[in-house]
Amino acid sequence: MHVRKPTIGLAAVLTVTFSLMGGQAVAAPSATAPSEVADSAVAARVVTYDASGSAEFKSAVDRGAAIWNESVDAVELRPVATGQRANIRVLADNGWPRALPTTLGNGTVYIGRQAVTQGYNTIRISAHELGHILGLPDRKPGPCSSLMSGSTAGIACTNPYPDTVEKAEVEDNFSSALARTGGAVRSGVMIVD
C-alpha cells in the first residue's frame, strides 16, 4: 500500500498565499527529513468520481477506485462531494463495459451488464475502465496479470490490480501532466472493452 508523505511544499504555498494577501506568514518547520524531501512526490492530483448512476455496481466502482489509490501515488480517486461536479461519471447500462475519456482524469465510464452476465468480474471491470480514464490503453490480447488486457484474459480472471508497467504509466501520466496539455488519453474516443 502506498502512503503519501507530506512535503514542505504546503508551507511554501501558505507562505506565498499569506504574503500575497498582506498577512504575515511564518514558515512551518519541516517534519520531513532532508533525505526524504528528494524522495517525496508532488502531492497527488485528486480526481473525483460520481458512482451514483452505477446502480448495483457502486461497491465495485468504489473498490476499483481504492485499488488505484493503493497502487499509485500521483493521482487519488475520491467520491465527489454532494453538490459538486465529478471528473468521472460512472454509469450502469445493459451494453458492454466502455470508457469515454475526454482529457486525462476526466470522462465517463459505463459498467455494462452484458459482460457481467457473461461472467466477468465487476471489480476488474471497474478498475479496468477507470484505468482508461487514467490514460491507459487496452493491451489485448494479454494475460490475467495485466489489468488492461481486459476481456482477453477470460472470465476466470478476477485480478483487479494493475501490473508494474500499468502503475508506472499512470504515475508518469499524472506526474508529467503539468508539463503537458491535453493529457495522455485520446479525447472523445470511446474505448469499448
Q: What does the pLDDT look like over 25-82, one tens digit per residue?
A: 333 333 444 444 334 445 789 999 999 999 999 999 999 999 999 999 999 999 999 9
pLDDT at 96 over 70: yes
Provide the pLDDT for residue 188.
Answer: 54
Q: What pLDDT is recorded for position 19?
A: 38
pTM, entire model? 0.74
Q: Which segments of the chain does DSSP mark as H helices, in order?
A: 9-20, 34-39, 58-71, 113-117, 122-133, 164-175
DSSP letter, residue 32? S
- Residue 183's pLDDT is 43
For residues 153 and 142, is the Cβ–Cβ distance under 8 A? yes
Q: Is the pLDDT of residue 88 over 80?
A: yes
Residue 176: the pLDDT is 81
Question: Do the Cβ atoms of 193 and 159 come closer than 8 Å?
Answer: no
Residue 116 phi/psi, 5-degree rounding, is: -65, -45
Report pLDDT for 100.
Answer: 97
> Active-site residue numbers?
129
Q: What is the pLDDT of residue 179?
A: 47
Q: How far is it between the farthest Cα atoms of the chain?
A: 62
- Integer CA distances (angstroms), 20 to 14, 15, 16, in order: 10, 9, 6
- What one-letter code names the amino acid at 141? P
